[in-house]
Amino acid sequence: MTRRSKQIPNHTWHLLHRECNLARWEHVLTQEYGETLEVGPGMGLFTVMLRERGVKDIVLLEKSKACIKIIADTLRINGLKDVLLLEGDINESPFVGRCFDTIVCLEVLEHLVFPRKALKEMARVCRKGGDLYLTVPLNGLMPPSKVRGHHQDFDHADLHALIESTGWTVYKHFEDDTYQYFYSRRKR
């Protein structure tokens, strides 16, 4: 059984996307999260799902001013007054090292010019033994030559190697018809 969040302002079509995300992530949303950083939360829909599953300490880091306004509306409408929303870039994060137990980075890495730097920064701010939940589009599905704003197109082997080279150990990977999913743990 799934619970629906309150209406997202002027973005009702995203409710269907949200339900699809919920189905994709149901097994992940049962995990213990602790202090959580969500990088590039887009519209804040996954944030709402995290809170619905009991995750209390959530910090959002978003670079886009337009997205920040949408996220703020999503948080307000869903009564999430204590979620900290910060404007910033993961490549130059404002955080002191090792302050999060979990990093969530969904459909963000393909937008970055320097994904290695971002993954290293995520490892730097994650506590040892903490988790990274990462998704990117399947290789060739949304290449930079066809999708404005995309700078990367990762194949499984290359992204796995990149994640492993930046302070993480990949412990689970799978794909569906659209995305690659990587669950990784911060090396000790």
Express each pLDDT in 111-146 by its tens digit. 999 999 999 999 999 999 999 999 999 888 888 898
| pLDDT confidence of residue 2 | 45
| pLDDT confidence of residue 9 | 45
Residue 110 has pLDDT above 60, yes or no: yes
Handedness of CA 117, 182, 168, 68 (dihedral sign): positive
Count of Cβ atoms closer than 10 Å to residue 2 Cβ? 10
Domain residue extents for the chain: 18-24+33-186
| pLDDT confidence of residue 90 | 96
Give residue 3's pLDDT band: very low, low, confident or very high (50, 70, 90): very low
| pLDDT confidence of residue 10 | 43
| pLDDT confidence of residue 7 | 45
Count of Cβ atoms closer than 10 Å to residue 177 Cβ? 6
Question: Domain 18-24+33-186, what architecture?
Answer: 3-Layer(aba) Sandwich (3.40)
Residue 138 has phi, psi (to 5 degrees) of -60, 145
Give residue 5's pLDDT band: very low, low, confident or very high (50, 70, 90): very low
Express each pLDDT in 21-58 by its tens digit. 566 666 666 667 889 999 999 999 889 988 988 898 99
Express each pLDDT in 81-101 by its tens digit. 999 999 999 999 999 889 999
pTM value?
0.86
Classified as helix, coil or strand, 139 is: coil
91: left (phi over 0), alpha (psi -120 to 50) or beta: alpha
Express each pLDDT in 159-177 by its tens digit. 999 999 999 999 888 888 8
